[in-house]
Amino acid sequence: MKNILLILLCIFSFSDAFSQEEKNVEQVVDSLYKEDQFYIGVTYNLLVKRPKGVSQSGFSSGFHLGYIKDMPINVKRNMAIGVGLGISSNSFNQNMLIDKDNNSDYTYSVLDDNETSYSKNKFTTYMIEAPIEFRWRTSTATEYKFWRIYTGFKLSYVIANSSKFVGDSTIKHSSISDFDKMQYGFTISAGYNTWNIHLYYGLNTVFEKDAQLDNTSLDMHAVKIGLMLYLL
């Protein structure tokens, strides 16, 4: 009987210790609970407020990758501020030729589809981007599938750019000085679980004010619509 009581006492003691340890683990999980600290996205890129005659064709793509520090701001930890750093590449297929004149100044002209045969005409920007988000979600410390709405602001810096025309000849340019290096705009991501609809609306122009097409400033803004994948 003494042996049985001793065994039962050991079992209860182990069970109580395990239960207490499990509670402590849960408390640790709760105290450190954060979400969505890495993002990968693909977008369809649009140019709005285009000058007369400028149009887009084909698929203009954007690829986005980065890290966001998630900082919960309430006890339930379903609201947070996110501050991040990432990189992106953004291409725009359109019919505006970027070239140089005899003075090595950049010139802009609209390609006539009826008279000019070409297979490709695009410009591409490569950016370092810094998103800032207000985050709302329905997640808990143990629930990994949840609804989310993240709104915010994204500041980007163009570290490189290029243009490419492929037709009867090939025209390439890089480090084009007329691009506005600082880009910024509003963002929103919303969805359930892993994949989310993402929208970026640029508040400033892609090109500097000095860049002109037919004596008209290229006041085009970028709009990006696509999917954003969030990971822990």
Q: Which CATH number characterizes residue 121's domain?
A: 2.40.160
| Mean of pLDDT values over 1-11 | 44
Per-residue pLDDT band for 114 (boundaries 50, 70, 90) equals: low
Asked whether residue 129 falls in the same domain as residue 56, the answer is yes
Asked whether residue 171 falls in the same domain as residue 98, the answer is yes
| Mean of pLDDT values over 50-79 | 93
| Spatial distance between the Cα atoms of 30 and 76, rounded to a whole number of angstroms | 9
Asked whether residue 3 falls in the same domain as residue 91, the answer is no
Asked whether residue 121 falls in the same domain as residue 143, the answer is yes
The neighbouring-strand residues paired with 214 are none
Asked whether residue 212 falls in the same domain as residue 133, the answer is yes
Per-residue pLDDT band for 173 (boundaries 50, 70, 90) equals: very high
Asked whether residue 1 falls in the same domain as residue 67, the answer is no
Question: Could you tell me which of 45, 91, 89, 64 has the C-alpha nearest to residue 225?
Answer: 45
Asked whether residue 18 falls in the same domain as residue 52, the answer is no
pLDDT over 90, % of the chain: 66
Cβ atoms of residues 84 and 130 within 8 Å? yes
Asked whether residue 82 falls in the same domain as residue 163, the answer is yes
Q: What pLDDT does 155 receive?
A: 98
Asked whether residue 99 falls in the same domain as residue 10, the answer is no
Asked whether residue 124 falls in the same domain as residue 16, the answer is no
Domain that holds residue 13: 1-32
pTM of the predicted model as reported, rounded to 2 decimal places: 0.83
Per the structure, how many domains does the chain have? Answer: 2
Report CA-CA distances (Å) from 65 to 46, 89, 205. 19, 9, 23
Asked whether residue 185 falls in the same domain as residue 79, the answer is yes
Query: Where is 24: in which H helix or E strand?
Result: helix 2-32
